Amino acid sequence: VRVGDLAEVYETHPEERARSRINLKPAVLLMVLKEPEANTVRVADRLRRAAMELDRKLPEVRLVNLMDPGRFIKAAIKRIGTSIAIGFILAVLVLLYLLQDFRPTLAISSVNL
């Protein structure tokens, strides 16, 4: 996989304005921007796979991912699912407390599913 397969590549040589270091070692930073309509999680997954392939092909070069928005999005989606489940359980418990009977609580809560 070449970088040119994933994005448009421009070869330029701007003047040095800053020095990049990771763990006190000189580094080259590469920022990949996706198109607005592109799926962030898919782009992040493809970049991760491409980086793993480059790691295998270039063992003398170490690739470090400093920021992965795909991971944050996956974690947020997982938290939303957990919050929905907790909310449903709490709603059933409140219904059970108010109705004082399991059968109507079960009937009402099954409608929400």
Instruction: Write the pLDDT tens digit of every residue in 56-101.
Output: 998 888 888 888 899 999 999 999 999 999 999 999 999 999 999 9
Give the residue from 97, 93, 92 showing the smallest Cα distance to 112: 92
**Considering the domain boundaries, does residue 63 fall inside one?**
no
Name the residue range of residue 90's domain.
69-112
Claim to verify: residue 7 and residue 53 sit in the same structural domain = yes
Instruction: Write the pLDDT tens digit of every residue in 16-68.
Output: 777 888 888 888 888 888 899 999 999 999 999 988 898 899 888 888 888 88
pTM of the model: 0.58
Pairing of strands 21-22, 25-26: antiparallel
Claim to verify: residue 81 and residue 102 sit in the same structural domain = yes
Q: Which residues contact 83 (CB under 8 A, 6 or more apart)?
A: none
Q: Which residues contact 7 (CB under 8 A, 6 or more apart)?
A: 32
Claim to verify: residue 40 and residue 10 sit in the same structural domain = yes
Domain tally, the chain:
2
Claim to verify: residue 48 and residue 76 sit in the same structural domain = no
* d(C-alpha 96, C-alpha 83), whole Å: 20
Confidence at residue 113, expressed as pLDDT on a 0 to 100 scale: 55
* d(C-alpha 109, C-alpha 113), whole Å: 7
